[in-house]
Structure 1
Amino acid sequence: MKYLILISILVLSGCSSTSKVTSNTDIASIMNVIALTEDNAPDGIKGTFQLPIKASGNQRGIIYLNTETDYRDRRNITVAIHPKLIDAFTKKYGESPDSYFINKTIEVTGEAKRMKISIFSNGKITKKYYFQTHVRVASLNQIKVLS
């Protein structure tokens, strides 16, 4: 009798509808990388990372690709492309990296590292700062588009 009840419950539960559960693995993996860099600071973590690029910026010749539209967002990982690569990249792909990678998912190999970013006011450094997670790219072989 026990087995009949157990089998009936299993059969009926298999016939019931289940709700679809979705998760955003991109955010989970990005937050995992950020947490690991915080735990390893001041050292970084080496690996290959898949990142959706939503925004870019350019400062002192370095192109920054960001996983969030606000580069100061705690959930952001920044990919920093060295200035010496910009011309080679543009020749190879016909477009500058700051526009080419927008709304694409990339795979980047390197070291993700927690960086202290100082805040300036009126051209002078203040005591205020925040942290970003950066992956520096010094070779075209380190970065590719997945989708």
Structure 2
Amino acid sequence: MRAHLLPILALLSGCAAQPPVRQPTAQVIPPALAVLAAADAAPNGVPGRFGFVVQRAEWVGPRLFLNSQPDYRDQRNLSISIDPAAIGGLRQMFGDDLRSALLHKPIIVDGVARRIQIDFIANGRRTDKYYYQTHVIVTDPGQLHVGA
């Protein structure tokens, strides 16, 4: 009977050595997994479909940032950075006040999650201190899907 177990154990150990199967991109990736995957893939990004309820929406210059956490500096936060090129089309879809239209709404975004280094600034100059954020850049209104 023991002789029959050896081939089975060898087969099972061979299976364990196989690389993990990647999730299909059609599945929605939550922020925590997006942040971890982007950190693992850095400096490259991770393509996918990302989803969450917008907890914070703020304009920073000409860009609108949609955040999965109330504190955008939270290491678990996934930021959707809406490029100025997409703003006009999104305003046609959701109205002029994009911030109010998207805050507290469930969204799904198709794009690439990347880990971005954010430098601390003191007296108008970069310091040697920094932290990381994970961003998905939206350049086309068709990348953003909003639920009810």
For normalisation by structure 1, the TM-score amounts to 0.77
| Structure-2 residue corresponding to 1:80 | 81
Q: Does 1:37 align with 2:38?
A: yes
For residues 33-73 of structure 1, give each alpha carbon's deviation from its aligned partner in whole angstroms, at most 9, with x where no partner exists.
11111110000100111111110121220111111111001
Flag the structure with larger Rg. Answer: 1
**Distance across 2 between alignment mates of 1:94 and 1:146:** 15
For residues 54-94 of structure 1, give each alpha carbon's deviation from its aligned partner in whole angstroms, at most 9, with x where no partner exists.
10121220111111111001111000001122222213322
**Distance across 1 between alignment mates of 2:109 and 2:39:** 19
Q: How many residues align?
A: 120
1:65 and 1:78 in contact (8 A); partners too = yes
Percent of residue pairs identical: 32
Structure 1 gaps of 5+ residues are 1-27
| Structure-1 residue corresponding to 2:147 | 146
**Distance across 2 between alignment mates of 1:90 and 1:131:** 30
Cα offset, 1:123, TM superposition: 1.3
**Distance across 2 between alignment mates of 1:79 and 1:112:** 9
Structure 2 gaps of 5+ residues are 1-28
1:112 and 1:133 in contact (8 A); partners too = yes
Q: Show structure 1 runs of 4+ deviating over 6 A.
A: none
Q: What is the RMSD computed on CA atoms of the aligned residues? A: 1.4
Q: Does 1:136 align with 2:137?
A: yes
Q: Does 1:95 align with 2:99?
A: no
2:30 is paired with a residue of what secondary structure?
Answer: helix
